Amino acid sequence: MQPLGRLLTKYKVGDQVVIKVDPAIQKGMPHRRYHGKFGVISEVRGRAYVITIKVGNTTKDIIARPEHVYLTNQK
């Protein structure tokens, strides 16, 4: 079970977030290679968020649900 505070947090476009994969919830899970990466929320798609991440010289768009996303000032 996840704490409700983490699930009820609403993120806005432009928020800086960290992807932390929670293996207890498989739905909306990003690939494990993006675990611990910083990004910026660029779009909201239903319950999920589109996160723009810089990987090397390219930028990638990762779709993840809020269970796997944290604000950068949280631990």
CA distance 29 to 18: 13
Residue 75 to residue 52: CA distance in whole angstroms: 20
Please give the Cα distance from 55 to 9 (Å, whole number). Answer: 26
The residue extents of the domains of the chain are: 4-71
The pLDDT profile of the chain, 75 residues, written as one tens digit per residue, is: 777 887 788 999 999 999 999 999 899 899 999 999 999 999 999 999 999 999 999 999 999 999 999 998 754
Q: What's the CATH code, domain 4-71?
A: 2.30.30.70
CB-based contact 21:44 (threshold 8 Å): no
